[in-house]
Structure 1
Amino acid sequence: MAKQSGNKDVRKLQLTGGATYTLSVPKTWVKHHNLKSRDGIQVDWRPSGALRLTPFNTIEQIKKITLSTRKIPEGALLDHLMGAYLSGTDRIKINFTSKENSKIKKIIRIFQRSTRGFEIEEELDESITLITLINAGELPMRSSLNQMYMQLNSLIRDILDVISGEDKSLIEDYEEREREIDSLRFFIERQAGIVLDSYKVAERLNIGRRQAVEYSNLARALERMADHTNQMAHLVLEDNGQTKLSFDTPPLNQIPIWQGALRTLMINIRTNNGEEIEVARNSLKSAQKILKQHERSLWSGRKDANKLLFEDHISESIRRLCAYTRDFGEILLNILTYDSIIFDKRNN
């Protein structure tokens, strides 16, 4: 008999009145949810064939965690805070000694810049409590992915403008933009973790658990693209206009191909057109080959070593952008394929 969470037992259907089938539920489950006779229970018929029973009037749980600097290795508090954030924690209490106060506040500020929605609820001499103000089910995951894409595409456009002669101040905030993309990726991963734990959040987001995990993978691919865009911005600022690159030859003439392919793939998060996804991935594969050949040819002549290194690194970053965008397309194909699966009963 199922007496607690995680237990299983087999219960037999009973025919009542010749027309209605009934099934008893564990008494301990009824008491755990403070239910009484005639209370409503929501019955959800899952695609797998299973039935999910949920008390109609449920109170959502608040996830809490307490972190103590006495129990955490020195320098590891930020990692523990990020772990709590990604795990879906709603309230984080940090205990520390009064001597650590200023250091802890600095770490909390870094944590808040790297995440979304956490604010200080209570601040004492030897403890600080953080609470989330954003409900994971309020912001669609697709919206966060679009924000990541817009930040990424905006930085690439500004990098090209600076290379063409615009003022370098356009991209001097590249690190801040990268932090924004990182925080969006962390938020999507937090949502994916919460969706795995809570079907109610999944319903509010109108997303399946498998799809939430794949969206998290999409966010990770965009974040890796942002890393290489960030590197390109750093290289361009460091070069300070000394190296002139043509927009009509590799590597820069491959950027529009990458931009077009990524734009197509972003649209296909919604439209799920397998043919368009494959066309985009093939164009990226061709761009990768062109860039690889270009990088090999750079060192065949006599040119200034610093300029060659600059062009080689820019080309490599663009090639990596293409590679991660192909991965992005592969994830979309995985989503499309899973949605096309037809489930049938297995014959014994």
Structure 2
Amino acid sequence: MQSLQDTKQTRRIQISGGSTYTISLPKKWVDELKVKNGDNMTIIKNANRSMTLYPGIGAEMPAKKAIITISQKDPEESIRRKIIALYLNGYKTIQITTRGMKILSEHSRLIKDLVRRSMIGTEIVESDSESITIQILTRLPELTFDVALKRMYLMTSSMHREAIEALKKHDVEYGEEVARMDDEVDRFSLYIMRTLMMAIQNASMLYDVGLEQPSDCLNFRTVISRIERIADHAALMAKRTRFLKEPLEPKMLKELEMLSNGVIGCFENSISALVNKDHILAEKVASNIAKVIEDEKELMYGMRESKNSTAIKFILEDIRRTAEYSSDIIEVVINETIQNIITEK
């Protein structure tokens, strides 16, 4: 275990010339970081009144390679979880290998499908009977957080609206097409999660993606997971088209559409409040979400039995869950902006 002396020291700052201050660094720390006399150091001024100092000029982290060994008995979901975990942890190269045996064809298909459908900026660069090598080609950060977030939430909003359209038209094929859009949302979710995990370890990257402090990564991780869940429920709504015994009645369609428009408005405004750090809008959206949930309960309890009752109940639950996840985003906004409305003494 490291001692306090190894991780924290106090040094006196001294003025050097008219506009420069200097501070000495512990020799042991400098040696451990393999920094030499004359090397460049990058200094980051953080929003929390601290500074971060690290070797080098750019923000590039050293390329990391991970090797995992699988067996023919490993469940497909176990292999999938391991690869996703390595992708999220910032590895540039992931090699999947076996102990001198052939990779099962189903395992090979799983890995190739995972790269194609779920991991932005990745390619399989080497493949043989006993190993597959995945290379992450995208340099982080390619997108600022705001841009990536906008793309993800716009896709999710579109999914929700098109799911309602599929239900209105009683079009099963259209519903399946909408549900497949969830794969694209998941890809962005993993990409942003990877960016956040790398940014929390690298102060320079934090600013490059448009965030101010490490705590932002934790809050936005919550936001991304909620958007992903909203997209999941939009996909479920679209899939429920196939379970309708007959087209929905016009009155029920109108009520579902009104409720859906209300909840998607809350979702979009929650993102707007987040991006603009708007506490007043966040409080307004919180009230609107509460009303949408109450409207959903009234519609659920007042619904008469029909051939489509079970499907409609599940659709109403999808809409309610979208409201609840939007409420979680609003909580993040309020936590982030509370300092704007208080007076400290």
Instruction: Give the TM interval when normalised to the shorter protein.
Output: 0.7 to 0.9
Q: TM-score, normalised by structure 1?
A: 0.84
Q: Which moved more, 1:290-299 or 1:24-33?
A: 24-33
- 1:205-251 per-position Cα deviation (integer Å, ceiling 9, x unaligned): 12132222222211111111112211211112321643324267533
C-alpha contact 1:93 1:128 (8 A) present in aligned 2? yes
**Does 1:272 find its partner at 2:277?**
yes
Read off the aligned partner of 1:61 and give its amino acid letter.
P
Q: TM-score, normalised by structure 2?
A: 0.85
Higher relative contact order (CA 8 A, sep 6+): 2
SS in 2 for 1:164: helix
**Does 1:228 find its partner at 2:233?**
yes
Read off the aligned partner of 1:151 and give its amino acid letter.
M
Read off the aligned partner of 1:94 and give its amino acid letter.
I
| Unpaired segments ≥5 residues, structure 2 | none
Distance of aligned partners of 1:243 and 1:23 in 2 relative to their CA distance in 1, 3 Å threshold: closer
Read off the aligned partner of 2:55 and give its amino acid letter.
P
Read off the aligned partner of 1:315 and give its amino acid letter.
L
Q: CA deviation at 1:42?
A: 3.2
SS in 1 for 2:181: helix
Q: CA deviation at 1:264?
A: 1.9
Equivalent pairs: percent with the same residue? 21
Alpha-carbon RMSD = 3.2
Distance 1:198 1:288 in 2: 40
Aligned length: 339
**Does 1:123 find its partner at 2:127?**
yes
Q: CA deviation at 1:321?
A: 1.5
**Other-structure match for 1:158:** 162
**Other-structure match for 1:104:** 107
**Other-structure match for 1:53:** 53
- 1:54-92 per-position Cα deviation (integer Å, ceiling 9, x unaligned): 234466311221100159954421111111112121111
Structure whose alpha-carbon radius of gyration is higher: 1
Q: CA deviation at 1:3?
A: 11
Q: CA deviation at 1:265?
A: 2.0
**Other-structure match for 1:83:** 85
Distance 1:17 1:146 in 2: 47
Distance of aligned partners of 1:78 and 1:48 in 2 relative to their CA distance in 1, 3 Å threshold: same
| Unpaired segments ≥5 residues, structure 1 | none
- 1:92-126 per-position Cα deviation (integer Å, ceiling 9, x unaligned): 11111442252332121232112212211222332
Distance 1:263 1:19 in 2: 47
Distance 1:49 1:272 in 2: 20
Distance 2:72 2:203 in 1: 33
C-alpha contact 2:64 2:93 (8 A) present in aligned 1? yes
Distance 2:15 2:336 in 1: 42
Q: Which of 281, 287, 290 in structure 1 is aligned with 2:292?
A: 287
Distance of aligned partners of 1:73 and 1:284 in 2 relative to their CA distance in 1, 3 Å threshold: same
Distance 2:152 2:170 in 1: 24
